[in-house]
Homo-oligomer: A and B are copies of this chain.
Amino acid sequence: MDRSVPVDTVDIRTYFDENRKRVDGLLDQYLPSEDTEPKTLHAAMRYSVMAGGKRLRPILTLATYEYCGGSYADDDKIGKVMAALEMVHTYSLIHDDLPCMDDDDLRRGIPTCHKEFGEAVAVLAGDALHDIAFGLIAETGRAEVVTELALAIGTQGMLGGQMADIEAEGHEISRAEIVNIHRRKTAALLRCSVRVGAILAGAKETTLEDLTDYGEKIGLAFQIIDDVLDIEGDQKLLGKKVGADSKRLKATYPAVVGIEQARSDAAELIEQAVAVVDNDTGSMLKEIALFIGRRDN
């Protein structure tokens, strides 16, 4: 049989396509309608959330849930948590894009939230997504999942990474320092997405530890590749401006170690992540890691 694309690649593409649609459906279901007051705020939230994106965080949660024996059809808890993770991710992008932060005009191929709705609405839309995400997770009745999220995106996680990222602008930093920024800014939420999938499926402690390691590794690789794509990526594919990092004198991984070393470090992290889940049940988590390794957007 003549197939130009390897079977594995087809599988992961189908998996992503199907679950992106599923995530879009969940987001549409759990976001307030634009016809409900406050209409402008709801419109801004929907504008940014429904602009697309890879939906990597909720898909990671689902894939981990399935890896640990759960099934999407089990109950609606997993769907609520999936929607919440994408909302949290979008909240962080909206605030990160603000003029006082990264001052970005383009995101997911369209004007950023503050360019479209103004800064005040963008601040509130981010706040509202942050809030609704916690509300959705609380609806599952699992307070420990709320705790997981709060820790992942707080000052020891995502927000701490964003702060360190701002403070590092224009400074020379070491490899250890940039890894420490990436670990919090990006890896913390990806690792959390993996962990909550495992926790909801009732994974045992050793599995949870292994998967935490997997989440950390793909999270770091993801951000290194993000930095590389900002240098040599295709703006059309990325849906955001390239070259923004160097323009802002951002601390990036390639700036610290060089672009070739960055690529090879990312590949090594992917290899280590694959090793954690390379078994009979691990196929999708393995494929997601490989997908992150070769992503171009």
Contacts and interface: CB of A to CB of B under 8 A. Distances in A.
A100 B128 contact: no
A38 B155 contact: yes
A164 interface: yes
A42 to B, nearest CB: 6
Contact of A143 (B32, B45, B143, B155): B143
A164 B120 contact: no
A212 interface: no
A163 B123 contact: no
Given A38-B163, A119-B100, A167-B40, A154 B138 contact: no
Interface in A117-155: 118-121, 123-124, 126-128, 130-132, 134-135, 137-144, 146-147, 149-151, 153-155
B41 A163 contact: yes
Contact of A151 (B100, B101, B135): B135
A123 B144 contact: no
Q: Chain A: interface secondary structure? A: helix
Contacts of A98: 120, 123
Copies of this protein in the complex: 2
A134 B146 contact: yes
A150 B164 contact: no
Nearest to A88: B131
Contacts of A37: 160, 164
A162 interface: yes
Interface string A67-107: 00000000000000000000000000001001011000000
A32 B139 CA distance: 28
Contacts of A150: 131-132, 134-135, 138
Nearest to A180: B37
A118 B169 CA distance: 15
